[in-house]
């Protein structure tokens, strides 16, 4: 669990986060949504320790990050998995080498055999067994995202951060990635935080949702509640596309 309490962060005198309070639950897919510039990425980077907030507390399983020792911060880094927006795979490395990279960073001693076994285990888990020797350029975009997920979970993290994991994918493949992330979250009992603009993701896996607007937590709830709320700030965002406007109209007509 990660808890954010009264979090404030600004740049050059302009406040970006204005007192965010939210609890990201363990073993749930916690989504952060909102328009561009609402503060989503800044919140994520504060939780990752990349930005230092001016005010507020970020707690990892009950302990404030500001109180972590250097050794505890290193241990936390090992327990964080990250799925980047573009996948961020190393083009010059094979699939196996990409997934092996975090293990090489954090594993002490000569554990080559154990590490390779773990790599093959997670590749099998994301349905990519047999792709170990392929280069990223030789596999599809959806497969690249699954490699990125395998790399993110290879160290058995407690916390998984995903930045627009469906970016650039077709709707069918995006659903596969959504379901895979949710399955892994439950299976490994991970605290998963996902930044997304994809309303299909909200509908599929939004177990807990934080909606940010202008640096404020404007609404919170789950996937069943977000499509029923009368909050105009939320509905303007959720039903911004023509498709979801039709869905909204049908809901109001009781169809």
CA dihedral 230, 234, 236, 240 (to 10 degrees): -120
Q: Is the pLDDT confidence value at 107 over 90?
A: no
Lowest-confidence region among 48-57, 85-94, 148-157, 186-195: 85-94
pTM: 0.90
- DSSP category for residue 137: G
Handedness of CA 165, 101, 48, 152 (dihedral sign): positive
β-strand 208-213 against 29-33: which pairing, if any? Answer: parallel
Report pLDDT for 246: 66
- Band the pLDDT of 106: cuts 50, 70, 90: confident
- Band the pLDDT of 5: cuts 50, 70, 90: very high
pLDDT (tens digit per residue) in 110-143: 688 899 999 999 999 999 999 999 999 999 999 9
Percent helix, strand, coil in the chain (nearest 5)? 40, 25, 35
Q: Is the pLDDT confidence value at 159 over 90?
A: yes
Domains of the chain (ranges; CATH) run 1-79+186-255 (3.40.50.300)
Please compute the mean of the pLDDT values over residues 217-228 and round it to a whole number. Answer: 91
């Amino acid at each position: 669990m990660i808890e954010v309490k009264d979090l404030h962060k600004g740049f050059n005198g302009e406040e970006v986060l204005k007192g965010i309070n939210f609890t990201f639950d363990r073993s749930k897919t916690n989504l952060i949504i909102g328009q561009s510039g609402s503060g989503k990425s800044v919140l994520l980077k504060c939780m990752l320790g990349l930005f230092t907030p001016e005010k507020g507390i970020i707690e990892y399983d009950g302990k404030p990050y500001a109180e972590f020792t250097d050794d505890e911060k290193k241990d936390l880094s090992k327990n964080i998995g990250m799925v980047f927006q573009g996948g961020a795979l190393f083009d010059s490395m094979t699939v196996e080498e990409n997934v092996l990279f975090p293990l090489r960073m954090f594993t002490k001693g000569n554990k080559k055999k154990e590490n390779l076994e773990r790599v093959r285990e997670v590749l099998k888990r994301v349905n990519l067994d047999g792709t170990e020797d392929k280069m990223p350029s030789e596999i599809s975009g959806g497969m690249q995202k699954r490699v990125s997920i395998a790399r993110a979970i290879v160290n058995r993290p407690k916390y998984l951060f995903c930045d627009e994991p469906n970016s650039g994918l077709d709707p069918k493949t995006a659903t596969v990635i959504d379901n895979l992330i949710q399955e892994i979250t439950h299976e490994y009992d991970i605290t998963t935080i996902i930044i997304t603009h994809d309303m299909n993701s909200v509908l599929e896996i939004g177990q807990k949702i934080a909606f940010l607007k202008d640096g404020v937590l404007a609404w919170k709830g789950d996937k069943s509640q977000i499509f029923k709320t009368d909050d105009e700030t939320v509905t303007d965002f959720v039903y911004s596309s023509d498709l979801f406007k039709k869905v909204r109209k049908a809901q109001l007509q009781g169809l």
